[in-house]
Each structure stands twice: as structure tokens, then as C-alpha cells.
Structure 1
């Protein structure tokens, strides 16, 4: 079975409970839509998070969130083929797969493209208080081109989109933080995804980032819910 859930931010207790309740194993996949907590600190604290996740006994396919380090920059990760696409894998945690942006995976006969990246609205607060922030949190132009080339090869038809943030037209206004001046927010990722959404023929779209549970047309926001693909 393939399941999808939202941002975990290093908390996997509910995922382990779900896996036990449904008798899931390593052949079952849970897609995490970003902000996994796996490589946030860059020290032994990351290993503790990965160990907690691995104890769920399932295979994770993770989209890169704005609080995730880019695995392409990390020495421990190796890029390897997986179900028609590519994922970064740390050999110490072989069931934790970090999707390469633009990869199209075969998930039980359904094509699914991975599109990570987003802007951190709390960037200024984190920097002012000595917290970590990653300059490459959003996709580069080259990475965006890689995504578009993957869609070109499929004639802009796909079953499922798995992204961290959402197209601009779907941004949930009710979930925006009132303490943030929205005029300071970089929406270039959402604007680009909007152009993708308008051109793409797709059946369903899942995203996280906003920490809400909501269905908006064919797009579903996920946070703590775990749902079948």
C-alpha cells in the first residue's frame, strides 16, 4: 500500500502507531510531503530522528521541505534508482528515501512526480535568533527546468503531484500566520507551481507546508492525517 502524510518535523510517533494499526511492513510506502526533520541539525540529533522514523518498519518516500537540507549537498547520501525515479539514500537508513525533485515514480501503477522546496516565512525570526535556515530551501532555476523536462517527456500528463508547497491559487489564506507581513513573503515557488498546475493534466495533487487538513478540488493539504494514495 501507498500512503501520504504531511510535515512531520521530526515527530513520528503517530506514523509508528498507524503502521502498527494497519500491520504495515517494508513493502508499504508512506510519502512524507516535506519538513521531515531528518537532516535539520547536521549532528547526532538527526540520527535520533531517523532512528525513530525507521522504527515504523515502512519505506518512506520524502519530498524536500523548506526545513530539510538538500540531500544532494550531503556526503552520506547516494542517488539511486527507485520505482522509475531517483532518490537519495543514506546507507545507514535504507528505508528513508529522499526524492530527487522532478523524479517520476511508479506508485502501484500511478505516476507521481516529486516537487520539493518552499520559502520559510519565519526566515527573519530564525536568523535573528541564531536558528538554522537553508539558503537553497527553494528550487533553483536548473531544478525547476529539470521538473519541467520530466513533464515534457510525459506530454504534461501525470496521475499525481507530490509537492511541499502548493500553486498560488490554492494558498489557504486561513492558514497564513497573522504575525507575518505577507508582502515580505517570497511566493515565487507558488507562482511557478501555478503555471505548472494550469498546464498540467493530472488527477490528484498532495501538498503539506501549511499545517492544515483540507481538500480543494483535486488538491489535498495534509498535516497529521495519513491517507491512501
Structure 2
């Protein structure tokens, strides 16, 4: 199956998504995995069109696109549309070449054990709710002047399911506490310390604590995430005798808040060990 192109947030940016699929081909990756904020907005015509375009390009270039949910993905709708449509690895099949990893999902590729935990807190929650409220006021005004349209205005920009509750997280994590090799998430673990981080409000910390608990429990050698829109690498301790490498990835250009943005900061290649490696277990590596 080959290696995996890991990418940060795409936010429904079609040009960026298509470019990344082409990067996957160039880097000889048959799979691309988006670490949240993929652009799962099928409650809008634009969101459905985005899925269709990315799927068409991925199918043509023979790349399978996977994603876990970020705080800006409407994951409740993904489940509503695609629950019951899982492939052999347990991913929900959204299109022929687009698949979703539910929260807490575990799978094995090339003898490498993975787990995925989506979700995070939206630092722009107030802005999004204000925009929804304004849309509702506009809709009510039109109805007073005789319009019969009843457009949905709630749940279009901010999604209540953006992060797991402690109870939901506990249930998923304790269902299987066996170690993994690679942990994928949208949010960062609490203990990682990038030198630039705009997602550090007090409201952000409970979910970072949840991801930290996943690291401490599952003890991955490598943990990858998006959300910060910033490329960094850190080493954090999980337990007395184990360290985890944490890599955060950048986002699409329109979402970057850095003047020094580089497209290559939004992806990396995860090299998986050969199926027929030596008896000593090989660990997945990041391409330099």
C-alpha cells in the first residue's frame, strides 16, 4: 500500500486539497490522511461540491483520502449520512476515495497500529454564533415581507459536537487501552510546547488534556495533529520511561496566520515499515 501523506487542515479549500493529492502522487503515497478541518460541510451545496471534486481527482490519481474530524467539520452529519457504510478497516465511506475515521477509531496499516481522535475547541466560536444569529435575523426579516423560504441558520458555522465531552472521551479511550504506534488527532496534547500557539485560551485546555490522556494511555512513538496551523516538532514524556514525538502540521494558505507560510509546512510523509521487515519491530518514520 505504500507510505501515507499526512496533512494539516484544509478547510474546504479545493485548490489546496487537489494540490495535496498531487503531492501524494509525487511522493509515491497511495494514501493521504487529513488531520481534521478537512471541510466536511455537506449541509451546504459548496461542501457537497468540494467532496465531489476532491473525490474525482483522488480517484483519477489513485489516491485514497482519509480524514478525522476537526472542530470545523460537521461530524454529526458525516455519521448521519454514512454510518452503516464502513469499509473493511472500519472507516466510513463518504465517497469512493474519501473516508472518515470516527473518534477513537483504531486500525492497522503495514503492521503499524493507529488510533484517531478528532475534535477541538473553536477559538472563533463567538464570531461563528454571531454570524448564525445574524443570518436568522435576516431570514426572519425576509419572512415578514412575504418570503416563504425557511433556510437553516443554526448549526451551519458552529457545531455543538466540535469536541468530545469527558464522558464520551472516557468511554472511547477505555474501550481499548492497548498501545499504538501512531496517534492522530486534530488538537495538540497539553504538554507539547510549540514556540507559536494561538490556541491557548483557557477554553482550549480541557480538550488538550483529553488528547494528553490519550498519549499517556496509548503511549505512541509518534503523534501527529493539525489545528494550530503551524509546523513544529516536540518531544513529550508519557510515563516514567517513554517519550512521544509530536508533530504539528500547517494548514491551507488562506487559514495561515504566519507571514512566513510555506506550503510544504502543511504536509509530511509517514514512512511505514515493510510488511516483511526483520523480526525486530520497525517503527514508522517521518521522511526528511
Please indicate, yes or no, whether the TM-score normalized by the shorter chain is above 0.5: yes
Distance 1:81 1:88 in 2: 4
In structure 2, the partner of 1:50 is: 51
Counting only pairs closer than 5 Å after superposition, residues 129-144 of structure 1 correspond to structure 2 as: 129-130=131-132, 132-144=157-169
In structure 1, the partner of 2:224 is: 206
The secondary structure found in structure 1 opposite 2:114 is: strand
Distance 1:173 1:132 in 2: 29
What CA RMSD, in Å, does the superposition of the two structures yield over aligned residues?
2.3
Relative to 1, partners in 2 of residues 1:166 and 1:151: Cα closer, same or farther, differing over 3 Å?
A: farther
Q: CA deviation at 1:94?
A: 2.1
The secondary structure found in structure 2 opposite 1:8 is: coil
Q: Which structure is larger by alpha-carbon Rg, 1 or 2?
A: 2
Q: Structure 1: where are the runs of 5+ without partners?
A: none
In structure 2, the partner of 1:174 is: 196
The secondary structure found in structure 2 opposite 1:113 is: strand
Q: May I ask how many residue pairs the two structures share in their alignment? A: 215
Distance 1:226 1:66 in 2: 22
Q: 2:182 aligns with which of 160, 163, 171?
A: 160
In structure 1, the partner of 2:126 is: 124
In structure 1, the partner of 2:102 is: 100
CA contact (8 A) 2:40 2:78 kept: no
Higher-helix-fraction structure: 2
In structure 1, the partner of 2:246 is: 219
Distance 1:63 1:73 in 2: 11
Higher-strand-fraction structure: 1
In structure 2, the partner of 1:197 is: 215
Q: Structure 2: where are the runs of 5+ without partners?
A: 133-155, 236-244, 251-265, 272-288
Q: 1:66 aligns with which of 62, 66, 71?
A: 71
Pair 1:151-2:186 in alignment: no
* TM-score, normalising length: structure 1: 0.83
CA contact (8 A) 2:76 2:161 kept: no
Write the deviation string for residues 82-113 of structure 1: whole angstroms up to 9, x where unpaired.
454x22223xx122111111111112210000
Distance 2:184 2:113 in 1: 10
Write the deviation string for residues 46-78 of structure 1: whole angstroms up to 9, x where unpaired.
122112321133111211100011146654213
Distance 2:93 2:167 in 1: 22
Q: CA deviation at 1:162?
A: 0.5
- Displaced runs of 4+ in structure 1, greater than 6 A? none
CA contact (8 A) 1:83 1:105 kept: no
Write the deviation string for residues 159-186 of structure 1: whole angstroms up to 9, x where unpaired.
0100000111115351216xxx824x24
